[in-house]
């Protein structure tokens, strides 16, 4: 009986010990199970955070809202990854990946040049209509600008017209910018259906080309030095000196603020070595009692670019208005630059200069550096004015100026009649011609997603 009880007690002890051991082993298994699951969950969470961070980093390129991704349940990691894979990041535009202003001129008589004929553009100024005024050769109209390693959209008139609906495109500056405005006007004239009108206002400082059916306005404002100057009269400004009010821009600029696209330039009027800066509000431009300081042209140019930059920064919203500044353009008045004879100019030139990097003596690189610096400082303040750096591509085109083949607004002197070299305009450009290419490049920046018209 005692043995039986003792056996029962032993069995109970054994069962208790076994239960304790089993409980302990079960606890270890449970702990191990939860530990492994937590590690997997932690690993999953790390993956999701990494994916979400990547998604946020790409927002600036895709403009995709990533708020949903950030708040996604951690158990949906695979779905987040799939969504990330489906994001379409817009490729950089052509103007961001290619230097459109570094290249060469290629003769191409099978391309779409010329884009129009001067006698079919009724609003074209006569001093640019070279064929109408006697120029016989036409090869200068057939050169294509070819950037190194890439290309840009050639003029697609119908597409441009659709994009310009309801917009005002305004060119502001000197007569070379008027030259470019003439080009743009003629490029669009035959493309835009319906009635088109050309008008002037503000004592002929403002020219307006308007297509009423499309509500398109392509305008030009005469302001050769941007600020107030003694050249502000568009029909009477042949002067042997330059006088400016270096801080006075509002008189002109008040007519620019409502433009959707602004295209500036100023250079030709800064080539005289000395500029006069008016002192005091009582001193009249061109008046007999002017009080002024004299300063070198580069320093004066820099001061005016500062005035212009301050106005742009204070008055133009870059989110609403696209802005561009045209680079300096060549003036081929010295044939010695390309191996010609002394006293000769661009008169009778029929071929471009084919020497890579050619630079004519009339273009001051210091002015270009001032312009580049001014636009760089503006960009640092959040205002991006694109430089259309056409300077080098114009250097080669000694063949593309009106010379004597233009409407003469003043009779030539006997000396100039006998010496057409001296009577030649080697500053402006025949139309159709080189400015048409400037406008194609400009349009590539204004509408970077535009497609090339089928040839």
Would you please indicate which residues are annotated as catalytic (active-site) residues? 175, 425, 428
H or E stretch including 118? none
Give domain limits for the chain.
Answer: 2-86, 96-446
State the pLDDT at residue 26: 52
Tokens of 161: 């017209």
H or E stretch including 172? strand 168-173
C-alpha 186, offset from chain centre: 21
State the pLDDT at residue 112: 84
Tokens of 188: 């669009």
Cβ neighbourhood burial of 380 (10 Å; 0-12, 13-18, 19+): exposed
DSSP string covering 138-164: -GGG-EEEEETT---PPP-HHHHHHHH
State the pLDDT at residue 387: 98
CA distance 285 to 196: 37
Tokens of 195: 């009635």
State the pLDDT at residue 450: 78
CA distance 45 to 374: 49
> 3-class DSSP state for residue 196?
strand
State the pLDDT at residue 412: 81
DSSP 451: P
Query: If you search the block for the tokens 């294509």, which residue do you land on?
Result: 144
State the pLDDT at residue 235: 87
Tokens of 290: 């002017």
Number of helices (H) and strands (E) in the chain: give both, helices first: 14, 12
Tokens of 135: 């120029």
Q: What is the pLDDT along the chain (455 residues), one digit of tens a residue?
A: 444 444 444 454 445 454 554 555 555 454 444 444 443 443 333 333 322 223 333 333 333 333 333 333 333 333 332 323 333 444 566 667 789 999 999 999 887 899 999 999 999 999 999 999 999 999 999 999 999 999 998 899 999 999 999 999 999 999 999 999 999 999 999 999 999 999 999 999 999 999 999 999 999 999 999 999 999 999 888 788 999 999 999 999 999 999 999 999 999 999 999 999 998 765 567 667 778 999 999 999 999 999 999 999 999 999 999 999 999 999 999 999 999 999 999 999 999 999 999 999 999 999 999 999 999 999 999 999 999 999 999 999 999 999 999 998 888 888 888 899 999 999 999 999 999 999 999 999 999 987 665 44
């Amino acid at each position: 009986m005692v043995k039986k009880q003792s056996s029962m007690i032993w069995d109970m002890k054994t069962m208790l010990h076994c239960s304790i051991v089993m409980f302990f082993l079960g606890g270890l298994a449970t702990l191990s199970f939860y530990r492994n699951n937590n590690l997997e969950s932690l690993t999953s969470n790390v993956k999701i955070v990494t994916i979400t961070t990547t998604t946020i980093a790409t927002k600036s390129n895709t403009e995709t809202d990533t708020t949903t991704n950030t708040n996604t349940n951690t158990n949906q990691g695979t779905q987040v990854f799939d969504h990330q894979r489906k994001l379409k990041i817009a490729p950089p535009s052509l103007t961001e990946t290619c230097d459109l202003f570094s290249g060469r001129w290629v003769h191409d008589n099978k391309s779409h040049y010329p884009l129009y004929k001067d006698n079919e553009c009724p609003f074209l100024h006569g001093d640019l209509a070279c064929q109408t005024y006697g120029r016989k050769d036409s090869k200068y109209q057939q050169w294509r600008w070819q950037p190194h390693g890439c290309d840009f959209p050639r003029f697609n008139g119908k597409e441009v017209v659709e994009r310009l609906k309801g917009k005002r495109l305004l060119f502001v500056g000197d007569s070379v910018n008027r030259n470019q405005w003439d080009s743009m006007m003629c490029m669009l004239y035959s493309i835009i259906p319906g009635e088109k009108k050309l008008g002037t206002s503000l004592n002929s400082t403002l020219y307006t080309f308007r297509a009423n059916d499309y509500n398109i306005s392509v305008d030009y404002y005469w302001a050769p030095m941007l600020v107030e100057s003694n050249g502000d009269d568009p029909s009477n400004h042949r002067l042997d000196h330059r006088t400016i009010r270096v801080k006075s821009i509002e008189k002109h600029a008040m007519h620019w603020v409502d433009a959707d696209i602004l295209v500036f330039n100023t250079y030709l009027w800064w080539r005289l070595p000395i500029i006069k800066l008016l002192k005091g509000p009582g001193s009249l431009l061109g008046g007999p009692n002017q009080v002024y300081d004299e300063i070198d042209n580069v320093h004066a140019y820099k001061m005016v670019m500062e005035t212009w930059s301050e106005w742009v920064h204070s008055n133009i919203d870059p989110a609403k208005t696209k802005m561009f500044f045209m680079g300096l353009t060549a003036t081929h008045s010295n044939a010695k630059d390309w191996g010609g004879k002394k006293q000769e100019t661009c008169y009778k030139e029929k071929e471009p200069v084919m020497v890579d990097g050619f630079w004519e003596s009339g273009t001051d690189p210091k002015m270009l550096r001032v312009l580049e610096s001014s636009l760089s400082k503006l960009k640092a303040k959040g205002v991006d004015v694109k430089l259309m750096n056409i300077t080098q591509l114009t250097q080669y085109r000694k063949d593309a100026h009106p010379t004597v083949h233009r409407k003469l607004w003043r009779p030539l002197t006997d000396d100039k009649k006998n010496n057409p070299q001296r009577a030649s305009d080697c500053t402006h450009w025949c139309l159709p011609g080189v400015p048409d290419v400037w406008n194609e490049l400009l349009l590539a920046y204004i509408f970077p997603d535009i497609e090339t018209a089928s040839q």
